[in-house]
Structure 1
Amino acid sequence: MLGSFSSSHEEEEDPSDLQYQIPQPSRSFSPPAIQMRQLLISCAELVSQSDFSAARRLLSILSSNSSPFGDSTERLVHQFSTALSLRLSRYATPATSSGAMSASANTAAADSEAFHSTYLSLNQITPFIRFSQLTANQAILEAIEGQRAIHILDFDIMHGVQWPPLMQAIAERCGNLHPPPMIRITGTGEDLGILQRTGDRLLKFAQSLGLKFQFHPLLLRNDPTSVPLYLPSALQLLPDETLAVNCVLYLHRLLRDDSRDLRLFLHKIKAMEPKVVTIAEREANHNHPLFLQRFVEALDHYTAVFDSLEATLPPTSRERLAVERIWFGREIVDIVSAEGDNRRERHERFESWEVMLRSSGFSNVPLSPFALSQAKLLLRLHYPSEGYRLQIINDSFFLGWQNQALFSVSSWH
């Protein structure tokens, strides 16, 4: 069984080392969640109608009834109010919008390190990424059965925490076979230093298992339209290798107002003839061209996310605060406040990915019963809340909270 790996976390800084104290949650009366939801939607309607004065008045009410330290509703309202306020500052006063965008870019650059560190907390306190990675790993493990040379192309490898469990599973399957299989990982990212440190950790872990291993960093500019141009010229593909392509929470970054770049990317991946392509994405439509519809969809999605955090972590959890503020808060700001090429979080539902993948020549590979049992075991052992729901639809897995599907994982060939 593919297990979990945590030793690489020891070298990372503690993302919860915030520079302020977390106050105890307020016990005073706050409006019901359904009322706050309607106020947020009303404010978004005013913004979409360019009634900025009325929107500001409503934002003042929302801000006074929200807090990053309160219950899940107060925290959610705080993040969406912040995003709406930023949208107002960008579009209500065009003369200063460029300055606001520049300030936002500077803030994003300053928070880059915190963003990467928070990823490790996200991986620990929520099951979403671990579920996606574990299920993808099982699909890869089954696809490369018996192969002696394996090449994994991982788009946006981050800290590489997905791969030690797969290496361990490969080592256990090989037993005393000599020579052991050769594993090469090409990991993409935007920070060469992070890529190199990730490669060093993975190499040490592979050596501890007796596996032959190579890591190749592939630096991609922070420009999704340039990504297809790198493929396959920037990759070293050997004829005797079995190729697996991993896209966990990545494909949505290639979407723009048209799907040209994504389709070019998929066609180039298909031309590499990978044995398996694993895909995990959020189950939400945050790519709608109409702001108000995108806002409501995001509100429903992140309400479920924040409710799941409320049910599994105490309000004083520093990890929870960091994840809500730095990770999910950043996503909400992007979905709500950004437009055009500045907007990156363009999530689509599984049905849309299915259409695009099939039109690019891919066929869905059913995820195995063993992958299902692993996903169930992960939830039971590490995230025992009864609110998480696992579904199988069209041979793909969906993880959600209560009745809201939040993430999908699928395998393609």
Structure 2
Amino acid sequence: MPSHISDHSPVLSTTTIMKIAKEQLKLYTSQNHDAYSIIFSPLIADLGLSPQVTEEVELVLLLLVSAEMLANRQLDCARKLLNLCINFSLSAGNPVQRVVYYFAESLRKRIDKGTGIPTIASNIDAVNPNIMEDVLMDPRTDVIETEQMLPFRKVTQFTGIQAILDGVKSFKRIHLIDFGIKTGSQWTILMQALVGNGECPPEHLKITAVGTSLTRMQVVGKRLTSFADTLHIPFSFKTVVSDLRHIRKDLFESKAGEVVAIYSDSRLWTLLAWPNHLQSLIQVCKSLDPCVMVVTEIEANTNTPIFINRFNEALFYYSAIFDSLETCIGWNHQYRAVAQGVYIGRIIENVITSEGEEMAHRHEKLGSWRTLFERFGIEETELSHSSLYQAKLLAEKSTCHGFCSLEMDGKSLIIKWKGTPIKSLSAWKFH
């Protein structure tokens, strides 16, 4: 961090404020200050921050000290400080206040859960990966609308589709397996691109959707079939009604002469709580012998049993998410409250309050996925120039241009928000 930030500097990002508070905590700790002197003393370093930003840094510092106390089993002190956090923060405030509010509430619930104090029941099932699949497949849901307003979704979606096209472009019979089809709208783009390929138009396109809601998938299938008819593409839609833990090769109707491509958009993380099932799924993928497997995942490491590490990782990641909501959507948009409270807030609660298999929401960074795939002899492959051009174009056309940036990590793409990694997109070949 710079030693001095003037009042005339650009508005600091939420993540930057978190970093300043983290550095202040390290500074206090190195000087052997106790918790209460940290809370009730002015900032040690003269950072030249505005009064508002200073208040935000102090609020985050209060949260960080509370988390450290909780990790050290100083539960009574932690609870008192968390009550202060909640009193000084707002679920409808600025991004820093929102982040502090949701994390402080979750920390307090973790203390209550550990000490046997009953708490107001929260609908944790709302963030169960299988139940959230139903929510995300509904094209009218506020969560989907919010997601589409952020640049990350469009960048990964269009770039992933291009990577699929690059893999299947020389084949006439294509079998696309989608581990989480959501609304399926992305495949209308693929169909249009296939029709536009005059050199090798498809003889048949088959999409197999994997999910737990047959009704939802059938609705998606009807929409895609109708769209394929308008383009005169020979098309069939199949469903595999199963969660990813129980996928088997014989559930897929693979036929001779078909080329298989697999698309996994933020789905593999749902198996991190069950490593054996994750490895089994990767083995099934390998046995299907796809020409390419495109994988999009959240770029954060919350899959650790060490609570304080998980807290810090989640805090910085969701600080960037709340910052992007503020920039791209605005504070009073009708969809934002739903996405923030019903979805993001409860994910934070699950990450903070749960352990073991109860912690459904956990993520790994690209390096961990790379290690896993390499163990199965699956090779990371280059994203084509057309894929990367598509990604760059979408990032630049975004209404949030300048804040969303792209960076290569090996052969894969990392999408960032104001420098904080948000998502990774990678393509894999099987041998």
Q: Where has structure 1 moved over 4 Å in runs of 4 or more?
A: 28-31, 106-116
- Map Cα deviations across residues 161-190 of structure 1 (whole Å, 9 max, x no partner): 32111111111114795xx43111111122
Contact 1:335–1:343 (8 Å) recurs in 2: yes
Contact 1:334–1:344 (8 Å) recurs in 2: yes
Q: Unaligned 5+ residue runs, structure 1? A: 1-27
Contact 2:143–2:335 (8 Å) recurs in 1: no
Output the CA distance in 1 between the equivalents of 2:135 and 2:410. Answer: 37
Farther-moved stretch of structure 1 (197-206 vs 81-90):
81-90
- Aligned residue pairs total 375
Contact 1:90–1:100 (8 Å) recurs in 2: no
Output the CA distance in 1 between the equivalents of 2:254 and 2:169. Answer: 19
1:192 aligns with 2:214: yes
Alignment of 1:318-397 (within 5 A): 318-397=334-413
1:202 aligns with 2:224: yes
Percent of aligned positions with the same letter in both sequences?
Answer: 28
Aligned residue for 2:194? 170
| Alpha-carbon spacing, 1:145–1:254, altered in 2? closer, same or farther (3 Å) | same
1:157 aligns with 2:181: yes
Give the TM-score normalised by the residue count of structure 2.
0.81
Contact 1:153–1:246 (8 Å) recurs in 2: yes
Output the CA distance in 2 between the equivalents of 1:159 and 1:34. Answer: 40
Alignment of 1:219-298 (within 5 A): 219-221=241-243, 227=245, 229-256=246-273, 259-298=275-314
1:211 aligns with 2:233: yes
Aligned residue for 2:316? 300
Aligned residue for 1:37? 60
Q: Which has the higher contact order (CA 8 A, sep 6+)?
A: 1
Give the TM-score normalised by the residue count of structure 1.
0.84
How far has the Cα of 1:329 moved from its partner? 1.9
The letter of the residue matching 2:167 is A
Output the CA distance in 2 between the equivalents of 1:110 and 1:260. Answer: 22
Equivalent of 2:88 in 58, 61, 65: 65
1:87 aligns with 2:138: no
Contact 2:301–2:310 (8 Å) recurs in 1: yes
| Alpha-carbon spacing, 1:106–1:264, altered in 2? closer, same or farther (3 Å) | closer
Question: What RMSD in Å do the two structures reach over aligned CA positions?
Answer: 2.5
Output the CA distance in 2 between the equivalents of 1:408 and 1:231. Answer: 26
Aligned residue for 1:55? 78
Farther-moved stretch of structure 1 (31-40 vs 189-198):
31-40
- Map Cα deviations across residues 88-129 of structure 1 (whole Å, 9 max, x no partner): 3322217x58x958x644897998866652342133211222
The letter of the residue matching 1:40 is L
| Alpha-carbon spacing, 1:157–1:113, altered in 2? closer, same or farther (3 Å) | closer
Contact 1:121–1:323 (8 Å) recurs in 2: no
How far has the Cα of 1:31 moved from its partner? 5.8
How far has the Cα of 1:204 moved from its partner? 1.3
Q: Secondary structure at 1:314's aligned position in 2?
A: coil
Contact 1:89–1:100 (8 Å) recurs in 2: no
**Structure with max Cα Rg:** 2
